[in-house]
Amino acid sequence: MMKTRIALTALALTALAGGLTMSPRHADAQARAICYNCPPEWADWGSQLKAIKSTLGIDVPADNKNSGQATAALIAEKASPVADVVYLGGIAADPAMNAGVLAPYKPAGWDKIPADLKDPDGHWFTIHSGTLGLFINTSALGKVPVPQSWADLLKPEYKGLVGYLDPTSAAVGQLGVMAINLALGGSYDNLDPAIKFFKELAKNQPIVPKQTSYARVISGEIPILLDYDFNAYRGRYTDKAPVRFVIPKEGTVVFPYVMGFVKGGPNADNGKKVLDYVLSDASQVMWGNAYLRPVFADKLSAEAKTKFLPDADYARAKPVDLKKLAAAQKAIIERYRNEVN
């Protein structure tokens, strides 16, 4: 009887020890990094996540949060972080930093990033950028001409054909307000030109979704959408849809996307390796092949560049001032809600 008890005790201790050393949860933690807002269908994050797995041996699960949702989650989880790294539209970078959810980390390649595209202390840094303009399904337009300017959208023939994401909830919608505002003579402190424009556009019964609407343009449900060049190029060259991209004659803005290291994340070392990777030559070339502008311009391959509009068109696109844009965010939301919506 005693031998049986000893044997059972030994077996239990062996199983417990095995559980401590072989627990799937424990093993996953060693080979994982959690990224908030790394959606596989956006900016070809799917290919990046596969490359990180094959190159680094680190599994980064896909995550479909947007920038606002990611920031809110980081703040809610501040006492016990779940994520290790985060990907954000540039307008959300400083708010996330100011909320105390990002820790400084300067990845490999940091010194090569232009000063205006990173936080000097390392809380966030740009990995690529997109240009805002008109993402157009030419087939859905029928006989209506392709618009060439912001002003064209106010013409009666575009009634019911124009869409833009809701500026009260979507960062790209807020960027659209500012892009038009600056193009029409406004400033980060004076939103009057944009508010006047959107009041006029309201007469044309625009479509105003709250979520990314790539599929609705591809299907023709929204013939014209204020959106990024990389989505239009993806639609044309990857999905073979009858779409094109137009940079309005009055001008527009270039918007950076950034990443940051989450303060107190559970897989810190793996998180740092992921941030190093997204600035690597291989990763930067991949961003370019997904029709984004890599932060290191020389990593945009000659073949990828042939898919973009000519440089003369991009000369009308100016870099956005992230700090001034972030400061104007509240006014954009309030004025649109009170005066347009």
Which two structure tokens, joined as six digits, stand for 107? 């990845």
Give the model's pLDDT for residue 337: 96
At residue 283's C-alpha, the angle toward residues 83 and 63, to 5°, is: 30
Residue 270, in any domain of the structure = yes
For position 261, which CATH number holds?
A: 3.40.190.10
**CA atoms of 125 and 134, how far apart (whole Å):** 27
Residue 20, in any domain of the structure = no
Tens-binned pLDDT, residue by residue, of the chain (341 aa): 333 333 333 333 333 333 333 333 333 445 999 999 998 878 889 999 999 999 999 999 999 888 888 999 999 999 999 999 999 989 889 999 999 999 999 999 999 999 999 999 999 999 999 999 999 999 999 999 999 999 999 999 999 999 999 998 788 899 999 999 999 999 999 999 999 999 999 999 999 998 778 899 999 999 999 999 999 999 999 999 999 999 999 999 999 999 999 999 999 999 999 999 999 999 999 999 999 999 999 999 999 999 999 999 999 999 999 889 989 989 999 999 999 98
* Together in a domain, 145 and 209: yes
* Together in a domain, 136 and 223: yes
* Together in a domain, 291 and 315: no
Give the model's pLDDT for residue 14: 36
Residue 108, in any domain of the structure = yes
* Together in a domain, 333 and 246: yes
Range of the domain at 203: 131-254+310-339
* Together in a domain, 147 and 202: yes
Pairing of strands 162-163, 224-228: parallel
The domain total for the chain is 2
- Are 281 and 181 in contact by the 8 Å Cβ rule? The answer is no
With a pLDDT cut of 90, the percent of the chain lying above it is: 80
* Together in a domain, 178 and 222: yes
* Together in a domain, 136 and 205: yes
* Together in a domain, 59 and 189: no
Biggest CA-to-CA distance, the chain:
93
Report the SS3 class of residue 295: coil
The model carries a pTM of: 0.82
Residue 15, in any domain of the structure = no
